[in-house]
Chain A
Amino acid sequence: MTILKVAAVLLTGFFFGLTLEGISRKVMARIQRRYGPPWYQNFLDVFKALSKIGISHGWIFDFGILMALGGVIATLAFVPLGNLVAFPGLDNLFIIVYLFAVGALGMAMGMVGSGNPNASIGVARALTQMLGYEIPYMISVAAVMYYYKTASVSTLMLSQQDKWTLFKMPIGGIVAFISLLGMLGKKPFDTPIAPAEIASGPMVELSAKYMGLLMLMHTFSIFVEVGLFVDIFLGVSNYWTFLLKFTVVWIFATLISSVLPRFRIEQVVKFYWKVPLSLAFIQALFVLIGWVF
């Protein structure tokens, strides 16, 4: 049973994630007054990349990519998709956040293992950006966990029977959304990739199969990041309403990102630690003194 559920979660991540990425490309194109690729373009991209013969920079390069994809797949299995929960009771939020770091570390290691300084710079920036968004995000989520007295994501979701957390703790919700933009690497927080400055950073040496596997990893990580936001802040959902809410959040993030320029990396950290972190503390204070709407 658990195996079937895990498979269902992963397959949803794969099909729905790639479709949605295609749709968001279309949305962004329309904002920029282009026609844009078809919705199934990302399927074509992944399978084409996977079928080509590329280059590898040695075993650590391969191993890093395996660790990245493996880590993210493992993380995704713990994320509840509405009422589809693969490991009931064991979907602890800290586990998800930290297991997610396995993927990040694997990718960082593999890409730096390629020996290209652009990749190293990209990874250094990605880690620095993580220092920026992770702290306000964790504090706003911690306020939610403190309020509901649980760290299990599905229990957090089910505790919102009367009202969505987003409306109970609006400041925390906004902070989490801003942090989400950073996690997704959406503009204005796309410094780690920055194609014009550092040749796409971590991805500079990727080709063929390696590129394809990392595209999959990217799709799955979007699912983890947005899925957590939906579960924690956007009320009770079953599998279908979860996907609906997921689409709304993802498209909203795309809309914002397609009209903004890029921060410099130190601006990212400064911004996150000034505005969202202070807001997160205000939210935590509100929760401590009981001002929850």
Chain B
Amino acid sequence: MISITNLILVFLFGSLISYLLTKANKVLGSIFNFLLSFYALYYVWNIEVGHYEKLFNIFPNIENSLKVTYLGKFFAIISLIVISLVSFFIIEWIRKKPSRPAAFNAFILIMIAGVIGVFFSNDLLTLYVFWEIAVLGSFLIVPMGKEESKKAAVIYAVTSAIGSYMYLFATFSIYSKYGVLSFDKVSSYLLNEPSNLFKWFVILFIASAGIAKSGIFPLHTWLRITHGNAPDAFSAILSGQLVKMGSYVLAISLSVFPSTMLFNAFYHGVPLINYLLIWLGNISIIIGTFMAIRQNDMKQLIAYSSIANGGYILVGLGVMNSIGYAGGLFHVFNHAIAAAMIFLSFAAVVYRTGTTKIDEMGGLIWRMPWTFVTYLVGIISLAGIPPTSGFISKWMIFNALLTKGMFITLAITFIGSVGSFLYVFRPLAGVFLGQLKKKHYEVKEVSPIMLIPMLILVTLTVFIGIYPKPVLDLIASIERNIGIKPIEYSGTIIKTSLGQWNTLTVFTMFATGFIIALILHLIFPKGKKVELTDQYTGGDYLYNYDLYHYATGFYKFIERLYDKHPSFEKLYNMLASFFKSMGEIVNGIIYKVSPSGYVFWISIVILILFWVRW
């Protein structure tokens, strides 16, 4: 087996090959991408924990290196599952989209190189370097989507930069204070740090990179714009994988630098700083849920739901006990898989219909049944309903909050969870059910190449929902490694202090219930099949069935309750326009058409420099 460094180099040089291959033949380039990412998945799956590689030296006495930890391996496996399946999907999808296929394929490989580096970094600076590589790769892909995507890319880059510069600032502060950067050394220095203020600053600034990336309030606004406008298949990677890099940094800032040991307990053993982050998570859940209910654009709807799920992950990780931390990590897995499923099914819908507006579609189930099945299982998992895996993590998070007696957070997670039934149902009803529009009569199901990855994800989420042991094994080893009491489970039974449940029993019982219903359905007389145009209308004569489909303003009655909500997006827009007008003023004073103006300003600057003697 090659070393991780070589793997990353393979991806970086592979991007060049991929570019040329895709120029020659789109499909060939995408197959190359898929093979490479699938190899990376195989590689990461088999890699030994504890594997160490020296990389480069940026600062004197600091060895920048890669090290495989349980946490990194867990995230890397999830990411590469998502990436390799989406790459398979792209093989067919790339025939139609995006605008620059060659560059698209090349940048994806650059991004993967960054992603692998991030999860295996052993110190703060290496993580930053690879983080920026991943951001660069993804940032350049975003503008290949719709018309307004260029703006979306800028917003993405700026928000990401806010987080990563804060992170970098914390990194340099640590370096100047202790002279070390690797995670274990930093954490041992932090444990002996007398100044509480410094600890707060370090943890919060490092966490802010994760906050920006996983779309936690107040840096959540980019998700709607970027996920909504990125190329359709890439949205699956954005929401299913890249956002999880944020969760990884949050996990590092909370558990690798053990927050419960660094700070005093504030409420039921949870330190104040965790509590603060949990509250940010809470606000994200509320914003994500209620804004998702309002959306008419299906991709933006799920983008908002990613904000809410990012909140869930943060709440779970923030509690920092055995069950809550496990719930947070399990939710990383679940949301990655569910978001990938949902965005891929949307990509398939857009591939065939060319629109993302919910009220412009309807009845697609009759033309694209398998895409519908993917979406259905995706939302069942996203809404956390058994027997899919989505329920397991939500159950863990609820349990953790309940044992800690955090009733307000518990109420908010319930709102998020019931609210998710509302928003996931909207595309289900609007896009897939109801009457088929006349313009979509000719729509066909997408080809098997696109269906296979979607159905693999379906199988995966149901399988883990019935038999969660593989994921729980990984999580338990992470917890053991970090020094949290590992989660208890035996076979398919998961235990907490509040009780236990058996995934297999639940599934068996569900299957039994379904079989009973099926038997009842079969023994009684068969119904006559009628068209969807044959309806009870209360006596009205219908002449246009396109208008009969109820999809516009689906939840108008509840949206009305918070129509005039305060918005951070508006605040950011105000800030942006403020800086823009400031810039115009400065421009008006300084920018002169004649060269003499420049000479004047340059001489002023030189004078100041002499005066201050820098």
Partners in one complex: yes
Per a CB cutoff under 8 Å, which of A52, A60, A121, A151 touches B365?
A60
Q: Please tell me if A108 contacts chain B, counting CB pairs below 8 Å.
A: yes
Chain A nearest CB: distance from B104 CB in Å? Answer: 35
Compute how far the CA of A118 lies from the CA of B538 in the bound complex, rounded to whole angstroms.
10
- Interface pair B414/A90, CB less than 8 Å apart: no
- Interface pair A151/B499, CB less than 8 Å apart: yes
Known: A92-B500, A150-B498. A127 touches B517 (CB 8 A): no
Among all A-B residue pairs, the 10 with the closest Cβ atoms: A70-B514, A73-B513, A56-B527, A74-B513, A115-B532, A117-B550, A69-B517, A70-B513, A120-B550, A284-B407
Q: Please tell me if B561 contacts chain A, counting CB pairs below 8 Å.
A: yes
- Stretch from A21-29, A208-216, A235-243, A248-256 forming part of the interface with B: A208-216
- Interface pair B527/A77, CB less than 8 Å apart: no
Q: Please tell me if B81 contacts chain A, counting CB pairs below 8 Å.
A: no
Compute how far the CA of A55 lies from the CA of B421 in the bound complex, rounded to whole angstroms.
28
- Interface pair B386/A135, CB less than 8 Å apart: no
* Segment 13-67 of A: residues with Cβ below 8 Å from B: 50-58, 60, 62, 65-67
- Interface pair B521/A213, CB less than 8 Å apart: yes
CB neighbours of A142 from chain B (8 A): 402, 407, 410
CB neighbours of B497 from chain A (8 A): 149
Chain B residue, CB-CB nearest to A269: B558
Total chain B interface residues with beta-carbon distance under 8 A? 76
Chain B nearest CB: distance from A184 CB in Å? Answer: 17
Q: Please tell me if B47 contacts chain A, counting CB pairs below 8 Å.
A: no
Q: Please tell me if B385 contacts chain A, counting CB pairs below 8 Å.
A: yes
Known: A65-B521, A115-B433. A56 touches B530 (CB 8 A): yes
Most buried by A among B418, B421, B425, B509: B509
Per a CB cutoff under 8 Å, which of A69, A95, A115 touches B535?
A115
Most buried by B among A51, A57, A127, A288: A127
CB neighbours of B435 from chain A (8 A): 115
Q: Please tell me if B177 contacts chain A, counting CB pairs below 8 Å.
A: no
Q: Please tell me if A87 contacts chain B, counting CB pairs below 8 Å.
A: yes
- Interface pair B434/A53, CB less than 8 Å apart: no
CB neighbours of B391 from chain A (8 A): 98
Question: Interface majority SS on B: helix, strand, loop or mixed?
Answer: helix
- Interface pair B505/A205, CB less than 8 Å apart: no
Per a CB cutoff under 8 Å, which of B385, B500, B528, B538 touches A89?
B500
Most buried by A among B419, B421, B533: B421
Compute how far the CA of A66 lies from the CA of B517 in the bound complex, rounded to whole angstroms.
5
* Segment 57-101 of A: residues with Cβ below 8 Å from B: 57-58, 60, 62, 65-75, 77-78, 87, 89-90, 92, 94-95, 98-99, 101
Q: Please tell me if A281 contacts chain B, counting CB pairs below 8 Å.
A: yes
Q: Please tell me if A143 contacts chain B, counting CB pairs below 8 Å.
A: yes
CB neighbours of A125 from chain B (8 A): 557
Known: A58-B532, A209-B527. A6 touches B506 (CB 8 A): no
Apart from A116-B535, A139-B414, A285-B407, list 5 A-B contacts with CB within 8 A.
A67-B517, A68-B517, A139-B411, A146-B403, A213-B520
Contact with B along A248-271 (1 / 0, CB 8 A): 000000000000000011100110
Contact with A along B516-529 (1 / 0, CB 8 A): 11101100111111
Q: Please tell me if B405 contacts chain A, counting CB pairs below 8 Å.
A: yes
Total chain A interface residues with beta-carbon distance under 8 A? 89
What are 25 A-B contacts with C-beta separation under 8 Å? A50-B524, A62-B527, A67-B517, A69-B513, A78-B506, A92-B499, A98-B391, A99-B386, A104-B421, A115-B549, A120-B434, A123-B425, A124-B554, A125-B557, A128-B422, A128-B555, A130-B421, A135-B415, A139-B414, A209-B521, A265-B558, A266-B557, A270-B561, A281-B411, A285-B407
Chain A nearest CB: distance from B439 CB in Å? Answer: 17
Chain B nearest CB: distance from A89 CB in Å? Answer: 6
CB neighbours of A266 from chain B (8 A): 557-558, 560-561
Contact with B along A199-243 (1 / 0, CB 8 A): 100001101111011001000000000000000000000000000
Compute how far the CA of A110 lies from the CA of B359 in the bound complex, rounded to whole angstroms.
19
* Segment 522-573 of B: residues with Cβ below 8 Å from A: 524-530, 532-536, 538, 548-550, 554-555, 557-558, 560-561
CB neighbours of B403 from chain A (8 A): 146
Q: Please tell me if B398 contacts chain A, counting CB pairs below 8 Å.
A: yes
Q: Please tell me if A175 contacts chain B, counting CB pairs below 8 Å.
A: no
Compute how far the CA of A226 lies from the CA of B526 in the bound complex, rounded to whole angstroms.
33
Q: Please tell me if B238 contacts chain A, counting CB pairs below 8 Å.
A: no
Q: Please tell me if B264 contacts chain A, counting CB pairs below 8 Å.
A: no
Q: Please tell me if A131 contacts chain B, counting CB pairs below 8 Å.
A: yes
Known: A6-B512, A90-B502, A123-B429. A209 touches B525 (CB 8 A): yes
Q: Please tell me if B334 contacts chain A, counting CB pairs below 8 Å.
A: no
- Interface pair B405/A146, CB less than 8 Å apart: yes
CB neighbours of B538 from chain A (8 A): 199
Compute how far the CA of A60 lies from the CA of B373 in the bound complex, rounded to whole angstroms.
11
CB neighbours of A74 from chain B (8 A): 506, 509-510, 512-514
Compute how far the CA of A58 lies from the CA of B536 in the bound complex, rounded to whole angstroms.
16
CB neighbours of B460 from chain A (8 A): none
CB neighbours of B433 from chain A (8 A): 60, 109, 112-113, 115
Q: Please tell me if B501 contacts chain A, counting CB pairs below 8 Å.
A: yes
CB neighbours of B421 from chain A (8 A): 101, 104-105, 127, 130
Compute how far the CA of A73 lies from the CA of B521 in the bound complex, rounded to whole angstroms.
14
Compute how far the CA of A62 lies from the CA of B524 in the bound complex, rounded to whole angstroms.
13
- Interface pair B422/A131, CB less than 8 Å apart: yes
- Interface pair A90/B548, CB less than 8 Å apart: no
